[in-house]
Amino acid sequence: MKSIENRILVIDDEADIRELIELTLARMGLDADCVGSVGEALTMLKENRYQLCLTDMRLPDGDGLDIVRHITASALDTPVAVITAYGSAENAVAALKVGAFDYISKPVSLDQLRTLVKSALRCNVGEDADKAEEVGAIIGVSPAMAQVSALIAKLAKSQAPIYISGESGSGKELAARQIHAQSARAKQPFVPVNCGAIPENLMESEFFGYRKGAFTGADSDREGFFQAARGGTLFLDEVADLPLLMQVKLLRAIQEKKVRKVGNATEEPVDVRIMCATHKDLRDCVEKGIFRQDLYYRINVIELRIPPLRERREDIPALVESIMKRLTGGAGPKLDASARADLSTYSFPGNVRELENILERATALYSGALIGAADLQLGDARLAGAAAVGEGMAAPGTETLEDLLDRVERSAILSALEQTKGNRTAAARVLGVSFRSLRYRMDRLNME
């Protein structure tokens, strides 16, 4: 097999489509071998190695998925992009699931084609793979985290949407940043968005931008999250908190790779990779009717599950060492045997984020030569739930169940706010709820 520099394999049974694509590639300084069937394509792939394979979905003797499966099974390491019929989201998702690099819809947009080709060629060169070292590392020696790291390396070579699941504080955004940093998009922006922190009436303008005069206060043109992430990655955290109307608009933006600014009459193409995350069970949200099934299937092309800390206790010592080094610069106190033993058996309902909070508090408050078990205050954390219920408990029959639940909820919120130094976004994460939900609960309880 000979490697052909700057050469693309184009597979389409329509001669005019092949000619259009070949001409576009030629203007980019690239050569193309064009064939019209699966059989011809397999012969070319057997004889040559290409930097990109661009295939139509429907072919006379098979379909584009046959090409994707062959390249994946043969470990050719050649990116494959699939051309799908207009509006055929199912075919696009199917292609991405079996290993396609990306897809483009008919009628073929030449701007989108050029963007896709450039992205594929960058991925092939792999010039940005070492940028992952600049991002906080995924720390862990456990089998669970070894699987996560291996999957991250694979996902970095694709453009497929990724759904990152896991409990609050487990490191979902860090995993998304690692995928971005190891991908061909590493030099472009990584834009994280907390979907639960955006007022519903501002969502469309925040996501897609707006034109001057689109509404009262729109004094100038403004770009949204999609435009800010152009060429890079848009990370939608707590995506389950998006209202249904916004879910519809997000689905269209992902499928068509175009967005329309508020007040604009036309759509503009955007080259953005989508990653989503939430601590909620999205399948359950779909069943309850609060999350669209079509959007769920569109963003959940590949799922990356981040295990909770209690499922990877062997990673705790390395995490402690890393966190303490960051907190103290390596010159701070060490943990004694009793502190390490307590951490090894603690359940960490708040996961890695809670471990960071515990160590930060202990570093600030310890009084001896070493940080001991008492300095960690894990007993307080273990009893937090019981204390919230037991503190100031009224005598039986003197308060209603609703009053009791309100008091428990208020106590839990106050505790989280104290733990996060009044940061409501961080407090919401500690409590495992969205920012909007926390704000609603505080309003209901008349909490300033």
| pLDDT for the residue numbered 416 | 84
Is the bond leading into 107 cis (omega within 30 degrees of zero)?
Answer: yes
| pLDDT for the residue numbered 338 | 92
End-of-domain residue from the set 347, 364, 382: 382
The tokens describing 356, both together, are 């960071």
The DSSP bridge pattern shows strands 233-237 and 190-194 to be: parallel
Same-domain check for residues 102 and 225: no
| pLDDT for the residue numbered 127 | 45
Cα(112)–Cα(90) distance, integer angstroms: 20
Q: How many CA atoms lie within 13 A of 414 on its CB side?
A: 13
CATH code of residue 290: 3.40.50.300
Same-domain check for residues 161 and 274: yes
| pLDDT for the residue numbered 233 | 96
Q: Where are the beta strands (DSSP E) in 256-403?
A: 258-259, 268-269, 273-278, 302-305
Same-domain check for residues 94 and 205: no
Same-domain check for residues 274 and 339: no
End-of-domain residue from the set 105, 125, 145: 125
> What share of the chain has pLDDT > 90, as a percent?
47
Q: Where are the beta strands (DSSP E) in 203-279?
A: 233-237, 258-259, 268-269, 273-278
End-of-domain residue from the set 273, 307, 341: 307
| pLDDT for the residue numbered 211 | 87
Same-domain check for residues 397 and 446: yes
Same-domain check for residues 237 and 285: yes
CATH code of residue 375: 1.10.8.60
CA dist 214 → 183, 202, 221, 250, 258 (Å): 36, 13, 9, 20, 19
CATH code of residue 35: 3.40.50.2300
Same-domain check for residues 145 and 195: yes
| pLDDT for the residue numbered 397 | 46
Same-domain check for residues 138 and 108: no
Same-domain check for residues 177 and 262: yes
CATH code of residue 395: 1.10.10
Total domains in the fold of the chain: 4
Instruction: Please give the helix or strand (H or E) that residue 361 lies within, else none.
Output: helix 351-365
Ranges in the chain, pLDDT < 50: 126-130, 132-133, 383-398
**Total-model pTM:** 0.73
Same-domain check for residues 83 and 30: yes
Same-domain check for residues 150 and 299: yes
Range of the structural domain that residue 277 is part of: 129-307
Same-domain check for residues 186 and 274: yes
In 10 A of CB 126, how many CB atoms?
Answer: 14
pLDDT in tens, 321-372: 999 998 888 777 899 999 999 999 898 988 999 999 999 999 988 888 899 9
- Whose tokens are 């999350």? That residue is 291
Sheet-wide strand order for 31-35 = 31-35, 7-11, 52-56, 80-84, 102-105
